[in-house]
Amino acid sequence: MKATTSLHALAALSGVADGLATRNSSAPVGATGLPLLADGYVDLGVASAAFEKAKTFVDGLTNEQKIKIITGSSFTGSSSWTPLSSKDGVAGINMQFFVSGFTMINAATMTWNPDLVEAQFRATGDEFYQMGYNLIMGPVASPLGRDPYGGRLPEGFSPDPYLSGILMGKAAAGMSSAGIVTAGRHYLLNEQETNRMSGGYSANADDKTTQEVYLWPFADAVKGGLMAVMCGMNRVNGSLSCENDKILNGYLKSDLGFPGFVLPDVNSQATAFGSANAGLDYGSSRYWSEEVMLEGIETGNFTQARLDDMATRNVLPYYFAGLDDGQQPEKISNTDYRNVRGNHSTLIRKVASEAIILLKNDNTNGRGLPLNKPRTMALFGAHAGPCTAGPNQQFSVGGTPADTYPGHLATGGGSGQASFPYLITPFQPLTTRAAEDGGMIWWVLNNTYTAPPAAGFPGGGGGGFPGGNGSFPGGGGGGFPGGNGSFPGFPGGNGSFPGGGFPGGGGGGGGFGFGGTGMEPSIPNYAENSEACIVFINSMSGEGSDRTELANEEQDDMVNTVAEKCSNTIVVGNFAGPRILDAWIENPNITAVLYSGLLGQESGNAISDVLHGDVNPSGKLTHTIAKLASDYPTPTCMTSECNYDEGVFIDYRWFDAQITTIRYPFGHGLSYTSFTYGDVSVSVTNQTALGSRYPTGGLTLGGKADLFDEVIAVSTTVQNSGAVTGAEVAQLYISFPEEAEQPIRILRGFVKIEIAAGESADVTFSVRRRDISFWDTAAQKWAIAEGEYTLAVGSSSQDIRGSATLTV
Ligand SMILES: *[C@@H]1O[C@H](CO)[C@@H](O)[C@H](O)[C@H]1NC(C)=O
Ligand SMILES: *[C@@H]1O[C@H](CO)[C@@H](O)[C@H](O)[C@H]1NC(C)=O
Ligand SMILES: *[C@@H]1O[C@H](CO)[C@@H](O)[C@H](O)[C@H]1NC(C)=O
Ligand SMILES: *[C@@H]1O[C@H](CO)[C@@H](O)[C@H](O)[C@H]1NC(C)=O
Ligand SMILES: *[C@@H]1O[C@H](CO)[C@@H](O)[C@H](O)[C@H]1NC(C)=O
Ligand SMILES: *[C@@H]1O[C@H](CO)[C@@H](O)[C@H](O)[C@H]1NC(C)=O
Ligand SMILES: *[C@@H]1O[C@H](CO)[C@@H](O)[C@H](O)[C@H]1NC(C)=O
Ligand SMILES: *[C@@H]1O[C@H](CO)[C@@H](O)[C@H](O)[C@H]1NC(C)=O
Ligand SMILES: *[C@@H]1O[C@H](CO)[C@@H](O)[C@H](O)[C@H]1NC(C)=O
Ligand SMILES: *[C@@H]1O[C@H](CO)[C@@H](O)[C@H](O)[C@H]1NC(C)=O
């Protein structure tokens, strides 16, 4: 949703029939057949007190007042209601002055650090609260990442449902703990921007796929305290998400026990009763006028009980967040100053530096990373420094003008775009550091720059510093290039410049010339003359359109141009989603690659921290990097019917099954140290639970209560076998018995742990009932299959270090 669009200004959409749809709800609901909170079909747990307050409040209202609540109007009198004040933002407040520009969520996920992700969402929520907003259009678990080109991937977590689920739960808990209402979005199966408007495409997925992959993270969010859900613009199996009985009344309210309200994305409500009866709780007075709703109760197209439920679901979150305490600061305009940032910059820098993944590192012969005070260093690419006018250009919601950005990129576009108070680009700290380290630094902040013809400083022959001995390559001629001009150039031929010699001898262009530092300003020349060459690349995207490429030729040409001349080329990339690296990744001159998402206001500091080894990289890939863009199974769907025929096989689940050779696996990431793993052991921690095929608990927030109980524990030890302190993300992958119809192995646990050099640590993965369950379509329940499970522990999805088996 776009911040500037009012929920009341929803345009009409024709062609969708009103009326109560046939529901295939997979869980029992209240006596009326609809999931009404007052029927007590869900144990509200921590939300029980808020429900009682909401019910009492709503019981004292007229129907006219209830209709005002569900359409976002206020009323005063013996009872009064002020609509919640909403605003977009996942990585800071969208379009607001004086707030923090947090790390984009695609990057924060790469930390694999749930506590840090929770802290970031709490800090973000706190800024919303302090600015007077109390309904955040918040964390995004859809798109999940089915489509590697997906425009909104910067806002989401990972195509792995378990990883997304753990972090979505932390996001909901963190934001909510700031004392505001958090809306998760874009529910459901909303995986791309292409054709997104007004139900322009239908996402068609079977039950198993929906439950095991796309609904999964919403369950964690509901358990984590998510009190609002925004239904998406897409259709699901033909019905608009916001009018879809099965996904709203069924999956969300009946299966997950969601206690709050469902509100529509822009233009996503199309009817009065079709939406209200399907489970939409907040909508437009254009459809839900007093006249229509009251008459609906008369004619039986709608019920009093449902109206009461809608109002209660709108008010419950207000009490749950504690907004009735009267403490929240008044909302101010989006340009007024209020000091809300506190020390969030420290947190942002920490998240960003932990989010950086070291994909490759050859640090033999003083090359690679961390940098070891290079005497000469060159930076290449627009992404190394500020763009000409920045950093808060409004990225178009209708589609970004290009897939790359002409400056340092640290946020996504559209309603997920962060508002930067400032942006530290790599250029700043790297320059400062070169000064401190006594080095020299030069740069070309342009991907294609070629030096203008150098009239006036001719070379022509014999120029340059002679040499032949030392670290700069010899052979070429010195002087400024050019064929004519008046300056005769330095003579060459005999080597008076001792040690490290600049090249000399020959004639013609290239090399160093006049004055010693006056190099020909070109990418190849700087590359040739630098001990460390750092090339910066990016890819951008945001709300409104999908990416058109997963690699960029201009950037790849730049990387290759540098690597041809520089045997210590380090590539730093920040990307909106998966980026293909095969144009250069195998070149041995490319000694190191840092890869991440979009890092927020402290981006340059975080990159510098890792380049210099002040922070030992610990990020891990949250998606697979394929060799070819065409290797991904699910490109953007260009038609109005999008069939999720790949089922549960997205990302590594698909590559594993196809045995397709990939470039870097899901979960991969190196460190400046190394880790060894001990034996893996498994213990059953709840035999009773394992003895039952289906859950036996009652419905509570997130689903059947016992789905979240630990049933087995898997343990190993991890040793830091290198020379410096570092953090490892140990990953648990489970292989299921055949009946479960699961991918070869799926992530079902991870533990991030910092270990000092030479030390070991015990690592235990707690496996919940849901983690070893599959969706039994016939029974419409989560089930534990009988048979043998393999519990494999590794440093990535393809670097398994040990395993154990368990027979259930
Ligand atoms: C409900 O399930 C039946 C049988 O599985 C199916 O034919 C029907 O299309 C489903 N309805 C909806 C709304 O999904
Ligand atoms: C969509 O259709 C598939 C196939 O009939 C079915 O398994 C699934 O439950 C349906 N989902 C929804 C939300 O209607
Ligand atoms: C109300 O329900 C009746 C009977 O199902 C139907 O004919 C009519 O179109 C409905 N009215 C609206 C406004 O949905
Ligand atoms: C920020 O300050 C708060 C107290 O105001 C403190 O609890 C927190 O640890 C600080 N965070 C960082 C990252 O320094
Ligand atoms: C980069 O350099 C090229 C060639 O010199 C020039 O055409 C282009 O405008 C420059 N781009 C930017 C963003 O400055
Ligand atoms: C060399 O000089 C000629 C004649 O003045 C001019 O046309 C040409 O552009 C010059 N070339 C360069 C590279 O400056
Ligand atoms: C270069 O060599 C020539 C001839 O041997 C000599 O005359 C000249 O002084 C030398 N130049 C330098 C800079 O050493
Ligand atoms: C050339 O290199 C050798 C070996 O490193 C060194 O001993 C010698 O001093 C160098 N000569 C000059 C002129 O720097
Ligand atoms: C690596 O760099 C050196 C210059 O240091 C160059 O001679 C060589 O051709 C480069 N190799 C590749 C594969 O580009
Ligand atoms: C073990 O599982 C049973 C059945 O799900 C449950 O009732 C019980 O509370 C669980 N015990 C523990 C300690 O979690």
Q: Where are the alpha helices (DSSP H) in 48-193?
A: 48-59, 63-70, 105-108, 114-131, 161-176
Q: What is the mean pLDDT of the chain?
A: 89
Q: Is 772 a residue whose pLDDT tops 70? A: yes
Q: Is 578 a residue whose pLDDT tops 70? A: yes
Interhelix angle 290-299/63-70, nearest 10 degrees: 120
- In contact, 107 and 120? CB cutoff 8 Å: no
The bound ligand whose nearest atom lies closest to the alpha carbon of 302 is 3
Query: Between residues 638 and 465, which one has the greater pLDDT?
Result: 638
- Residue-wise pLDDT for 681-724, tens only, equals 999 999 999 999 999 999 999 999 999 999 999 999 999 999 99
Q: How many CA atoms within 13 Å lie on the side-chain side of 770?
A: 22
- Residue 428 confidence (pLDDT): 98
- Residue 365 confidence (pLDDT): 87
- Residue 1 confidence (pLDDT): 38
Q: Is 472 a residue whose pLDDT tops 80? A: no
Q: Rounded to an integer, what distance in angstroms lies between the CA atom of residue 154 and that of residue 422? A: 20
| pLDDT band per the 50, 70, 90 thresholds, residue 486 | very low
- Residue-wise pLDDT for 226-239, tens only, equals 999 999 999 999 99
Ligand 5 mean position to 445 CA, how many Å? 9
- Residue 493 confidence (pLDDT): 35
Is 265 catalytic? The answer is yes
Query: Between residues 37 and 18, which one has the greater pLDDT?
Result: 37
| pLDDT-wise least confident of 56-70, 192-206, 448-462 | 448-462
Ligand 9 close to Cβ of residue 589 (< 6 A): yes
Q: In a mutational test of the pocket of ligand 3, which residue from 286, 294, 301 has the highest number of ligand atoms less than 8 Å from its CB?
A: 301
Q: In a mutational test of the pocket of ligand 7, which residue from 490, 494, 502 has the highest number of ligand atoms less than 8 Å from its CB?
A: 494
Ligand 10 mean position to 689 CA, how many Å? 6
| pLDDT (mean) for 392-408 | 79
Ligand 7 atom with minimal separation from the 496 CA? 14
| pLDDT band per the 50, 70, 90 thresholds, residue 556 | very high
Q: Rounded to an integer, what distance in angstroms lies between the CA atom of residue 285 and that of residue 535? A: 53
Tokens of 388: 């000409």
Ligand 6 close to Cβ of residue 72 (< 6 A): no
| pLDDT band per the 50, 70, 90 thresholds, residue 396 | low
| pLDDT (mean) for 768-775 | 98
- Residue-wise pLDDT for 659-687, tens only, equals 889 999 999 999 999 999 999 999 999 99
Tokens of 275: 């939406």
Ligand 5 close to Cβ of residue 487 (< 6 A): no
Ligand 4 atom with minimal separation from the 343 CA? 1
Ligand 1 atom with minimal separation from the 24 CA? 1
| pLDDT (mean) for 73-85 | 97
- Give nearest CA residue, ligand 1 atom 4: 24
Handedness of CA 294, 300, 305, 309 (dihedral sign): negative
Ligand 3 close to Cβ of residue 297 (< 6 A): no
Ligand 10 atom with minimal separation from the 710 CA? 14
- Give nearest CA residue, ligand 4 atom 3: 343
Q: Rounded to an integer, what distance in angstroms lies between the CA atom of residue 206 and that of residue 242? A: 19
- Residue-wise pLDDT for 301-353, tens only, equals 999 999 999 999 999 999 999 999 999 999 999 999 999 999 999 999 999 99
- Residue-wise pLDDT for 290-311, tens only, equals 999 999 999 999 999 999 999 9
pLDDT more than 90, % of the chain? 84
| pLDDT-wise least confident of 50-59, 134-143, 321-330, 400-409 | 400-409
Ligand 7 atom with minimal separation from the 494 CA? 1
The bound ligand whose nearest atom lies closest to the alpha carbon of 389 is 5
The bound ligand whose nearest atom lies closest to the alpha carbon of 522 is 5
Ligand 1 mean position to 190 CA, how many Å? 21
Q: Rounded to an integer, what distance in angstroms lies between the CA atom of residue 142 and that of residue 164? A: 10
How many helices (DSSP H) and strands (DSSP E) are in the chain?
18, 29
Query: Between residues 448 and 462, which one has the greater pLDDT?
Result: 448
- Give nearest CA residue, ligand 1 atom 10: 24
| pLDDT band per the 50, 70, 90 thresholds, residue 2 | very low
Q: Rounded to an integer, what distance in angstroms lies between the CA atom of residue 685 and that of residue 410? A: 44
Q: Rounded to an integer, what distance in angstroms lies between the CA atom of residue 161 and that of residue 144? A: 8
- Residue 162 confidence (pLDDT): 98
- Give nearest CA residue, ligand 8 atom 3: 469
Ligand 6 close to Cβ of residue 456 (< 6 A): no
Q: In a mutational test of the pocket of ligand 8, which residue from 469, 471, 496 has the highest number of ligand atoms less than 8 Å from its CB?
A: 469
User: How large is the C-alpha radius of gyration of the chain?
Assistant: 29
The bound ligand whose nearest atom lies closest to the alpha carbon of 450 is 5
Q: Rounded to an integer, what distance in angstroms lies between the CA atom of residue 765 and that of residue 554? A: 44
Contacts of 711 (CB under 8 A, 6+ apart): 684, 685, 686, 689, 690, 767, 768, 769, 772
- In contact, 557 and 429? CB cutoff 8 Å: no
Query: Between residues 230 and 11, which one has the greater pLDDT?
Result: 230
Ligand 6 atom with minimal separation from the 483 CA? 13
Residue of 147, 220, 245, 265 marked catalytic: 265
- In contact, 680 and 793? CB cutoff 8 Å: yes
Q: What is the DSSP letter of 413?
A: B
- Give nearest CA residue, ligand 1 atom 1: 24
Ligand 4 lining (C-beta closer than 6 Å): 343, 346-347
